[in-house]
Amino acid sequence: MSDPSIDHWYPVGLLSDINAPRQTLLFGQEISLTKEDTGFSVKTSGGASLPTIKRFGHLWTSLGQPDHDLFAIPEADTPGRHLVDVGSVKVKCSPLRAVENFLDIAHFPFIHTDILGAEPHTEVDRYKVEIREEVNEVWATKVKFFQPQAAKSAEEGIITEYMYRVPAPTCAVLYKTCPPRPGEWDIITLFVQPLTEEWCEVWPWMALYDDESTMAEMVSFQQLIFMQDRSILENQIPLKLPLDPGMETPTQADMTSVAYRRWLKRIGYSYGAQMVAA
C-alpha cells in the first residue's frame, strides 16, 4: 500500500486484553495480534511481522515505515495518577471525524448536556491555536468553558480550562482542569484506529488524579461521554472529512478543527479525508 498515511503508529489493541488472538483491520487490511512469551506480535494476513510499540496501555503497530517514535505524554508518568483503559468502541465514520469531534467544545451543551456544558452557558471565548513546527503538532491552549460536571471527581459546576494537542494524525490528547488537584491537569486521550476510511475503532485512555471514584466509575464516565458523540459521528455528511473550504463553514469557536484540517493537508494525510470541495 503506497498511501503515506500508513507511515505512522496506530493503536490496535489493549495490552491487558490480548489474551486470546485478536483479528482486526488496519487501513482495510486484516492483521492479527497474539500474545507470546516474548511479548506481543502483529502479523498481516500474508504472515509478515509488523513492528510494535507498547505504550499508554495499548499495543501500537504500523503497516509502513514511520520515521519517528510514537509520541510521549510525560505528564502521564507522574505518580498518583490512575491509568484507565476505557476500552474500544467502533464507529461508522472517518477516523478523522472522530478526532475532530474530540477537539470540539461548542457541542458540549447540546450533546453532553448537564455534564460538560449546559444552556445558556454556550459561549466559547477566544482561545489560542497554533501548529508547533518544532514538534509538528497542533496545540490549542487557554481554552475555557463552564461545566456542570466536568469530571467524575467534580462536586459542582466549575470553569474548566483545557489544552488540546494533536501529536499524530489520528490521536488527540486533552489536558483539563483537575478538580482534586488544582494546578495539575487530568489527561484524557483518544487514540483512533483506522479500520477503513469510513470506519474506525476508538481507544480512549486516561491518566487521572481521582482517589474517590472506582475504576468502573471512571471507565463508565468516559464511555458515556464518547457514546453520546457516536450518533453525531455516524450522521455527518459527507462521511470523509473535507479538507478543503467550501463544504463546511467554521467560526471562531472551530479554530482547533480548522488548524487540524490545515495540518492534515500540510503533512499530506488523506486517509479518511475528502480533498475536493463538493
Partner 1 sequence: MILYDYVLSASCYKIRLMAALSDQKLGLRAVNFHPAREHKSPEMLKLNPGGTLPILRDGNLIMTDSSDMLRHLTKNLPEWQRDDDEWLDFAKTLNETLGMARLHDVLSFNVDIDAARNGGVRLLRRLEAHLTEQRFDGMIFLTGDTPTIADIACFPNTALAPDGGVSLDVYPSIRLWMRAIRSLPRFIEMPGIHRLHELEAAE
Partner 2 sequence: MNWIAVGLTDDIPAGTVVPRRVDGLDLAIWRSELGRFHAWSDRCPHRGMRLSHGFVRGEMLACIYHGWQYSLDGSCGYIPAHPELTPPTTICANTYVCEVRNRALWVALGPVKDDIPDVGDRIPIRSFDILCAASEIAQHFAHPQESLLVLNGRYDLAIALQPSTSRSCFAHIFAGAGQDRKIVSRYVEKLRDEMEAL
In angstroms, what is the minimal distance from the CB of 60 to partner 2? 29
Given partner 1, partner 2, none, residue 85, with its beta carbon under 5 to 8 Å by kind, binds partner 1
Q: Please, are residues 40 and 33 in contact by the beta-carbon 8 Å criterion? A: yes
In angstroms, what is the minimal distance from the CB of 231 to partner 2? 7
Q: Which is nearer to partner 2, 11 or 117 (CB)?
A: 117
In angstroms, what is the minimal distance from the CB of 93 to partner 2? 11
Binding stretches for partner 1 (CB under 8 A): 14, 16-17, 85-90, 92, 110-111, 113-114, 119, 214-217, 219-221, 223-224, 226-228, 230-231, 234
Pairing of strands 241-242, 273-274: parallel
Q: Which is nearer to partner 2, 104 or 186 (CB)?
A: 104
Given partner 1, partner 2, none, residue 90, with its beta carbon under 5 to 8 Å by kind, binds partner 1
Residue located via cell numbers 483491520: 25
Binding stretches for partner 2 (CB under 8 A): 104, 106-107, 109-111, 119, 122-124, 231-232, 235-238, 242, 247-254
Q: How far apart are CA 76 and CA 39, in angstroms?
A: 23
Q: Identity (one letter) of the amino acid at 188?
A: I
C-alpha to C-alpha distances, 278 to 200, 242, 251, nearest whole angstrom = 24, 9, 20
Q: How far apart are CA 173 and CA 73, in angstroms?
A: 9
Angle between helices 95-102 and 255-266 (to 10 degrees): 140
In angstroms, what is the minimal distance from the CB of 219 to partner 1? 5
